[in-house]
Structure 1
Amino acid sequence: MPYLIAVVALVGALCLVDLVLTLGVVRRLREHTKLLDALYEAVDLMGGPAGAGGRMSPGDVAAEFEATTVDGTPLTRELLVDGTVVAFLSPDCSGCHEKLPGFASWAAGQDRSRVLAVIDNRSGDPAEMVTALRAVAQVVVDSAVSDAFGVQAFPTFLQVATGGRLLAVAPDISRLPAGSPA
């Protein structure tokens, strides 16, 4: 019987130590999340420090562009609907492939006319991304759209107003105001 009490006391002590260590890890992860959020605010995702020459920031308007979706629909800056979420992806970007399932899942619950996937065609085969997104988003395979928005880093997610005015920039769909689950 004394051995049983000693074992129970030992297991209880180990559980308590584990709980304390787990709470410490959670606290540290929260600190790191805050630091990463601050980093994203300090450095925009258009390829450089916020306010750097040639980089767009919220309030700026995209340059004129003309493109055609993979379904044959013409697309211009003026045809963008207010609140449209634009995902800029590249076939040779491992981060883009990691975020692709989550973005496709999010887009499936949205109005397709307000979701645009721009796949940069400078490198890699876009077929996999086109297949994954075609049913849930308007898909354009054209680097001219990326250039019009000044995007230099992939993946990048934007929310735009009518006429291509930039409302928000984020590294992940969940960080956009429109990126919350539908």
Structure 2
Amino acid sequence: MPFLVAAVALIAVLCLLNLLLTFGVIRKLRAQAEQKADSVAEGLIIPAGSPAPPFSVVTTAGERVTRESLGETMLGFFSPDCRACKERLPLFVEQARTTARETGRSVLAVVHGTEEEAREQVAALSEVAHIVVEPGDGPLGEAFDITGYPVFGLITRDGTLAATAFDPARLPAPSKTTV
């Protein structure tokens, strides 16, 4: 009988040790996934820390916007035929609605495609962003050296592309002094 109790106790200790190791492995895998998600945006857009290129474009509402007129800006590039864009579009809209508008941060969404192809994305973005529809080799796509979709960025008031991300939720929180 004492051997049976010792065996059960040993198995219990081994199970607890296994559980702790499993939690450690899961934590490491999550950290690696987050690191990989951060690095996905690298190469899709000019590097974070670069000066944002000057631009002057006309939005779908007929409004002319420039780099200077927007101030601190949350930026998103989308393509109508991109599955990841369809998944991240609601996240971008929600991020724009909850943080950008509350703090005065401008939002610029660029959809690469034709007006017809972009209709659904333009409708989803119309309440929260200045929207530009242009071909993939359009002026904003060329200026920001876009090579994949979706990609998001944050332009500071001084004109620096401060952050880039593959997920809009990974952009830094807006400054409270933005006007």
Out of 19-28 and 164-173, give the one that drifted further.
19-28
Residues 26-48 of structure 1 show CA distances to partners (whole Å, capped at 9, x for unaligned) of: 5444322211333355564333x
| Structure 1: segments with no counterpart, 5+ residues | 1-16, 48-54
Out of 159-168 and 96-105, give the one that drifted further.
159-168
Residues 93-131 of structure 1 show CA distances to partners (whole Å, capped at 9, x for unaligned) of: 100001111211222223276111111127981100000
Q: When the two structures are superposed, what TM-score results if normalisation uses the length of structure 2?
A: 0.72
Q: CA offset at residue 134 of structure 1?
A: 0.4
The structure 2 residue matched to 1:90, chosen from 79, 90, 109, is 79
Q: Separation in 2 of the partners of 1:22 and 1:124? A: 53
Q: When the two structures are superposed, what TM-score results if normalisation uses the length of structure 1?
A: 0.71
Cα 1:130–1:123, aligned 2, differ >3 Å: closer, same or farther? closer
Match of 1:38 in 2: 35
Q: Does 1:99 align with 2:88?
A: yes
How many residue pairs were aligned?
154
Q: Separation in 2 of the partners of 1:132 and 1:177? A: 23
Cα 1:138–1:25, aligned 2, differ >3 Å: closer, same or farther? farther
Within 5 A, what are the aligned runs for 1:135-146?
135-142=127-134, 143-146=138-141
Residues 148-180 of structure 1 show CA distances to partners (whole Å, capped at 9, x for unaligned) of: 11121111010002364210011101111037x
Q: Separation in 1 of the partners of 2:113 and 2:158? A: 24
Q: Separation in 2 of the partners of 1:57 and 1:158? A: 10
Cα 1:155–1:44, aligned 2, differ >3 Å: closer, same or farther? closer
Secondary structure of the residue that 1:125 maps to in structure 2?
A: helix
CA contact (8 A) 2:109 2:132 kept: yes
The structure 1 residue matched to 2:56, chosen from 66, 91, 108, is 66
Within 5 A, what are the aligned runs for 1:17-166?
27-40=24-37, 44-47=41-44, 56-82=46-72, 84-109=73-98, 110-111=100-101, 114-121=106-113, 125-142=117-134, 143-162=138-157, 164-166=159-161
Q: Separation in 1 of the partners of 2:123 and 2:81? A: 16
Q: Separation in 2 of the partners of 1:158 and 1:137? A: 14
Q: Separation in 2 of the partners of 1:153 and 1:138? A: 21
Greater relative contact order (Cα < 8 A, sep 6+): 2
Q: Separation in 2 of the partners of 1:30 and 1:124? A: 44
Superposition CA RMSD, Å: 2.9
Q: Separation in 2 of the partners of 1:65 and 1:92? A: 25
Percent identity at matched positions?
Answer: 32
